[in-house]
Amino acid sequence: MDCYVIPVALYVLFGIGFCFFSQEMDASDYRVGFWRLFQPFLLFILYIYLSRSVTAGLPAGLLACATGVITGFTFPVLFHLTHRGEPHAYSFPVDFTFGLFVSVLFVALADVLLFRNQAVFAVLLTVTEILFLLPAFFQLAYFIYYRRCVNEPAVLALLHTNRLEAGEYIRLIPSTILIPASAGFLLAAGVMFRINLAAGTVETYAGFPVAALITFLFIMILLFGIGRYAFFRRTAPAKICIQAKEHIKRMQDSPLSDRDYPSHITAESVLTKNKSDFGTVLLVIGESANRMHMRAFSDYERETTPWLSGQSGNKNFYLFPNSYATWIQTLETVTMALTNKNQYDRVQKEDEISVINLANKLGFKTYWFSAQGYSDTTSSDVTVIAGAAQHKHWLLQDYTVRQYDEKLLEYLKAVDTGNNFIVVHLEGSHSDFHLRYPTQFAKWSYDKKDPYGSNPYDNSILYTDHILSQLFAYAKEHLNLQAMIYFSDHGSLIGQQRQSSFTGFEDVRIPFFVYLSEAYAARFPDTARALRRHTASCFTNDLVFDLLCGIFQVTGALHKEKNDISSMSYGFTAETLKTGLGKVSLKEDLRH
């Protein structure tokens, strides 16, 4: 009779778990939670009644139940600890229900395997339990190391890591952690085995436990066997893995992520012809930088861009204070900037090409270093473009420290000299502004009551200016920098939260500058002259692709000179340029 205490206790335990640890990922009412848990609970009661399971009341049964508890609780608890108090998109995973089913599953399996006292069956049970516990063990280790729960970028990083790197990674774990962890693991496995073996000595079974076998198989089918309704697929860790796999499939399906794409388009450039030693082109993509808050581009009263303001008189720098984004969101703007798609020309799907594809064709070594997201819906198309780069790193895959943009500099330091095309994608002034800069850049005080105000925003701009100066100085000193281009994906509304539709020009007024080395300007004086002539011209950042064709000195149809601000043939004006994805004319910007 006292066996029934166990399902009741588990039901209460899982119910409490649901109430306390699933707010961030499951908006369901507690009654819904208890109802979902009622199904495995009822099954457990029925099972004990029908099979007269003794194991349920033994240490081996408690071990079986604990396997379910650990399986069910690990992810929700770690997720809760990571995202406490944050607003979150709910995904309604069934981790707790899954965990309770696993408890019943192992009680039944213990009854099947331990009905005779044979060590081999105790080993089999222990190994199966350890297999179920492994994901929880990995999640816990990840959390202890990174102080965050496992998420999609982490899984993707793992899937992208080849076996060799994985081996190196394990070697990196200090022996002060590895030795006690291995010892603890062996000890736990030994104890589990002893518990399971001891259970077999209780001779209560008259014959083969048929009810236990049927229950075991039934739960296995429920958990793993009924297609997309299978409980396992609906747990949070499984959902993360499924999303990661879908992302990889999307990447593989898009030709832009292919290093040699598109095969029917050829491109040539004198820069890399005959393997000549040209140097580095550095493209820096900013985030949410509004040029009206940048002294180098406007008459803003604060000096938020000390470095760039200092370069405005430098003849190697070309600042374009009349530049605009094509749209107000990263995905669309960056995709258009980096491909031959733009608001003005029609490009057939099969003729689409990105700057990375182009640089690969020209024989550059291509690099992509990003402080932005990797696989969420707001960044996946950008990741597709980045996918064609020969070397790529995303900061967000590394959670060891708070990530400021300066961490990107470390990736740059690993680049060798040669003909390089390097794209650096900053986190810049992405909201929340105050999270984007270290304390020494907090020049204007941040007030929690005004998170979208000028003060934190201007600090983030000040910090970006510092980052640009660092990237420039390093590339000039060590990478034979020939050209640097910086533009922001879009602007930002200051003083209010981000909007998702076009509300005015604040959101599209962006900074944009080009640097050409002394040697480059001397070798290609027409390019330098055209850029100088056009510094007062208007520009939209979907034409960055064409500018890069110009900087790369591409010959052939791919280089449309009328789109290229570094060409004397650049033909656009405020009257003909557009923003708002082709819907709004720039001449509507009255400030202009």
Q: How far is the CB of 285 from Zn ion (least distance, A)?
A: 9
Q: Tell me the C-alpha distance between 481 and 30, whole Å.
A: 60
Token pair for 16: 């409490």
| 458 is a site residue for Zn ion (CB under 5 A) | no
Residue nearest to Zn ion (CB): 330
Q: Tell me the C-alpha distance between 477 and 415, whole Å.
A: 13
Q: How far is the CB of 337 from Zn ion (least distance, A)?
A: 11
Determine the straight-line distance between the first and last CA of the chain, rounded to whole angstroms. 84
Token pair for 204: 């209560």
| 427 is a site residue for Zn ion (CB under 5 A) | no
Q: How far is the CB of 380 from Zn ion (least distance, A)?
A: 14
Peptide bond before 438: cis, by omega within 30 degrees of 0? no
Work out which of 323, 330, 360, 579 binds Zn ion, going by CB under 5 A.
330
C-beta of residue 362 within 8 angstroms of C-beta of residue 272: yes
Q: How far is the CB of 325 from Zn ion (least distance, A)?
A: 9
Q: How far is the CB of 286 from Zn ion (least distance, A)?
A: 9
Span of 59-67, 81-89, 229-237, 283-291 interacting with Zn ion by CB under 5 A: 283-291
Span of 60-68, 329-337, 436-444, 573-581 interacting with Zn ion by CB under 5 A: 329-337
Question: Which residue stretches of 503-566 are H helix?
Answer: 518-523, 525-533, 544-551
Q: Where are the beta strands (DSSP E) in 339-450?
A: 365-370, 391-394, 420-425
Nearest to 474 by CA among 409, 547, 548: 409
Q: How far is the CB of 451 from Zn ion (least distance, A)?
A: 17
Residues 284-303 that bind Zn ion (CB under 5 A): 287
Q: Tell me the C-alpha distance between 224 and 582, whole Å.
A: 49
Q: Which is nearer to Zn ion, 241 or 408 (CB)?
A: 408
Count residues near Zn ion (CB under 5 A): 3
What is residue 33's three-state secondary structure? helix
Compute and round to an integer the Cα radius of gyration of the chain.
30
- What is the per-residue burial (b if ≥16 Cβ within 10 Å, else e) of 125-142? bbebbbeebebbeebbeb
| 332 is a site residue for Zn ion (CB under 5 A) | no
Q: Which is nearer to Zn ion, 150 or 395 (CB)?
A: 395
Local structure of residue 370 (DSSP, 8 states): E
Q: Which is nearer to Zn ion, 244 or 328 (CB)?
A: 328
Q: How far is the CB of 487 from Zn ion (least distance, A)?
A: 12
Q: Which is nearer to Zn ion, 489 or 507 (CB)?
A: 489
Q: How far is the CB of 254 from Zn ion (least distance, A)?
A: 21
What is residue 278's three-state secondary structure? coil
Span of 33-41, 213-221, 323-331, 410-418 interacting with Zn ion by CB under 5 A: 323-331
* Burial class (CB within 10 angstroms; exposed 0-12, middle 13-18, buried 19+) of 87: exposed
The per-residue DSSP string of 159-204 comes to HHS-HHHHHHHHHHS-HHHHHHHHHHHHHHHHHHHHHHHHHTT---
Q: How far is the CB of 463 from Zn ion (least distance, A)?
A: 16
Q: How far is the CB of 50 from Zn ion (least distance, A)?
A: 60
Q: Which is nearer to Zn ion, 24 or 489 (CB)?
A: 489
Span of 62-70, 201-209, 326-334, 435-443 interacting with Zn ion by CB under 5 A: 326-334
Contact characters 241-280, Zn ion, x per CB under 5 A? ----------------------------------------
Local structure of residue 543 (DSSP, 8 states): G
Span of 169-177, 377-385, 413-421, 484-492 interacting with Zn ion by CB under 5 A: 484-492
Q: How far is the CB of 319 from Zn ion (least distance, A)?
A: 21
Span of 188-196, 372-380, 381-389, 487-495 interacting with Zn ion by CB under 5 A: 487-495
Q: Which is nearer to Zn ion, 285 or 358 (CB)?
A: 285
Work out which of 489, 507, 542, 589 binds Zn ion, going by CB under 5 A.
489
Q: Where are the beta strands (DSSP E) in 377-435?
A: 391-394, 420-425
Residue ranges that bind Zn ion, judged by CB under 5 A? 287, 330, 489
